[in-house]
A and B are shown apart, each in its own frame.
Chain A
Amino acid sequence: ILNVEQSPQSLHVQEGDSTNFTCSFPSSNFYALHWYRWETAKSPEALFVMTLNGDEKKKGRISATLNTKEGYSYLYIKGSQPEDSATYLCAVSGSARQLTFGSGTQLTVLP
């Protein structure tokens, strides 16, 4: 079982601020990393799937980077908006093939 750590556990930012959070994982036997956004009372929604060291992906104001050698990924949100408030989940797969999820970072954007 992989150990996937996300930090911080929660954070509050002001509207317009940029923010980032971290997902850490064992660098050995890495295959893929997923980021999901989970709004309250909704379904988790896929943001990115990354597999290669140095991968960078972007969707609107949200971007993510991947460092498989040191075992971490960053998720960035530029100019946070209240609608960005959600729990952001990181999930990693390795030799066991299936995803192991972290506990998530709960983001609250204050208007």
Chain B
Amino acid sequence: ETGVTQTPRHLVMGMTNKKSLKCEQHLGHNAMYWYKQSAKKPLELMFVYNFKEQTENNSVPSRFSPECPNSSHLFLHLHTLQPEDSALYLCASSQGNGQGYEQYFGPGTRLTVT
């Protein structure tokens, strides 16, 4: 148990659907992250939030819309996705937003876009 939960664990959606991924951390951390892992590719950073403010957007298409209402919760809103967006989406948190802080990961949401 890492203290970071993600729901749903699996999601299948059509290209015209709108869905949201949820992440919650119970560790009292201040920074939260969204990562994407496509097949046979390394983990790729998407967004970083620190104290609820977005500090990093790694050139992610606007069909992915993050939301961080407080330091414990992070959402990723999805709309009009493409089949190539099918991937494992991981959430992580860390005590601070710095390279020296280890990140704690959730189990991920396996997304399939049909």
Contacts and interface: CB of A to CB of B under 8 A. Distances in A.
Interface string B51-74: 000001010000000000000000
B103 A51 contact: no
B103 A34 contact: yes
- Name the prevailing secondary structure of the A interface residues: loop
Contacts of A43: 2, 4, 90, 104-108
Contact of B102 (A4, A49, A97): A49
Interface residues of B, number: 24
Contact of B43 (A31, A51, A89, A93): A89
A99 B42 contact: no
A7 to B, nearest CB: 14
Interface of A: 4, 31-32, 34, 36, 41-46, 49, 51, 89, 91, 93, 97-104
9 contacts: A31-B99, A31-B100, A43-B2, A49-B100, A49-B102, A103-B40, A103-B41, A103-B42, A104-B42
